[in-house]
């Protein structure tokens, strides 16, 4: 049976080493589930915190709503 998740946020990195670096730098506290080598689900209720962390780490995410 497939799972359908509502109200989630997916973060996708350029490669797995970048994602691992981000996780080690504090992103892990917002992790819900890793869904692949370059993607994970983060707590959608903490998106503002995730964006602040990424900005502090020198990352500027492109935010999409689709």
**pTM listed for this prediction:** 0.85
Cα(35)–Cα(66) distance, rounded to whole angstroms?
Answer: 18
The confidence score (pLDDT) of residue 31 equals 95
Residue 50 lies in a domain: yes
User: What is the residue-averaged pLDDT of the chain?
Assistant: 92
Which residue range is the domain that position 23 belongs to? 9-56
d(CA 23, CA 17): 10
Residue 27 lies in a domain: yes
- pLDDT tens for 10-23 read 999 999 999 999 99
Whether residue 17 lies inside any domain: the answer is yes
Q: Is the pLDDT of residue 66 over 70?
A: no
Residue at 49 is within a domain = yes
pLDDT band at 9 (very low <50, low <70, confident <90, very high): very high
| Residue 35: CB atoms within 10 Å | 13
Residue 63 DSSP code: P
Q: Do 23 and 36 touch, CB atoms closer than 8 A? A: no
Q: What pLDDT score was predicted for residue 19?
A: 96
Find where tokens 């990352």 sit. 59
């Amino acid at each position: 049976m497939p799972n359908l998740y509502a109200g989630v946020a997916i973060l996708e990195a350029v490669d797995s080493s970048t994602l691992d670096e981000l996780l080690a730098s504090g992103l892990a506290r917002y992790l819900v589930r890793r869904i692949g080598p370059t993607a994970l689900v983060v707590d959608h209720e903490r998106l503002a915190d995730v964006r602040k962390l990424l900005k502090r780490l020198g990352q500027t995410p492109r935010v999409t709503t689709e």
